[in-house]
Homo-oligomer: A and B are copies of this chain.
Amino acid sequence: MAKAYERIADELRAEIRAGQLNPGDQLPAESALVERFGKSHVTIREALRVLQTEGLIDKQHGRGSFVRRPRTRVQRTNSRHQWEKGRAREPEEQRLQTGATERDTGLEVNDLVFHASYREIKASKELADAMGVPEGTVLLERTYRTRYSAERAPFSLVTSYLVRERIESNPDLLDETKEPWPGGTWNQLHTVGIEIDRVEERVTARPPTAEEAEELDLPPGTSVLILRKTSYDTEGRVADVSDVTLPGDRTELLFTTHLERW
């Protein structure tokens, strides 16, 4: 005999897939399900939890459980890199116009709330390896949050690392009050003579940690995309390492690869 909570989850899942319950629809109250299936409250909740973990339903305390509606996605492409590189050498008036987030989301500069903070750290083993420097090298760690002014959760959590020694010839680059910097990191690097040649992006996925769920306002039953972006300069050295956490339910990464012709 199958477990009761699985049978119940299967039955409700089938109703959702068959379209008896549509996105946005409210499920019967837990007490109603207790009666309908003749099982205890805890068992019913276990069944609903299965569906929640699958991202099929959304439980709201005091309101009810609802069939989840797919969210619109933010697209982040790798063609943005060429665009950002070009922008890094533009005159300041042009650089002020728009940033990468505006490009991804289609929103205006004024719709966005930006926050940055800097601090200096010594490279851990893991970071030192990623950046190709000795352990303990002084790094500038910069954390960024950008959000839509109408929402409370940022689009992503970004932490970027630069080697302090390679940028300190321009003291403005060590000063967080200069943010947001028109033209972004690659313009900043341009001011100290660094040109980016290629970008490597490593992508994995996992459930959010408690802190990430809190900060990105993620409900249970969602995942995060973890992206580590490594930028190499024209001499093959690592210029920047950025760790980005993106909500999986509203982000799509698009990578285009061009091939040599036969």
The chain A residues found within 8 Å of chain B, CB to CB, are: 13, 42, 50, 53-55, 73, 78, 81-82, 85, 89, 195-210, 220-225, 234, 248-249, 251-262
Contact = CB atoms under 8 A, between A and B. Distances in A.
A197 B259 CA distance: 5
Given A42-B42, A53-B220, A257 B199 contact: yes
Nearest to A196: B259
A198 B255 contact: no
Contact of A223 (B196, B202, B209, B223): B223
B195 A207 contact: no
B78 A257 contact: yes
Contact of A207 (B82, B196, B222, B251): B222
Nearest to A6: B210
A89 B205 CA distance: 35
- Most central of A53, A202, A223 by chain B CB within 10 Å: A223
Given A82-B257, A200-B257, 12 more contacts: A50-B210, A53-B53, A53-B207, A54-B207, A54-B208, A85-B260, A196-B259, A197-B259, A201-B254, A201-B255, A203-B253, A206-B248
B261 A202 contact: no
B209 A81 contact: no
A202 B234 contact: no
Contacts of A85: 259-260
A201 B248 CA distance: 16
- Most central of A85, A202, A234, A257 by chain B CB within 10 Å: A257
A200 B258 CA distance: 9
Contacts of A53: 53, 207, 220
A252 B206 contact: no
A82 B260 CA distance: 7
Contacts of A203: 203, 225, 252-255
B202 A205 contact: no
A200 B256 contact: yes
Contact of A255 (B89, B200, B261): B200
A85 B259 CA distance: 8
Nearest to A225: B205
- Most central of A50, A55, A252, A262 by chain B CB within 10 Å: A262
A259 B199 CA distance: 8
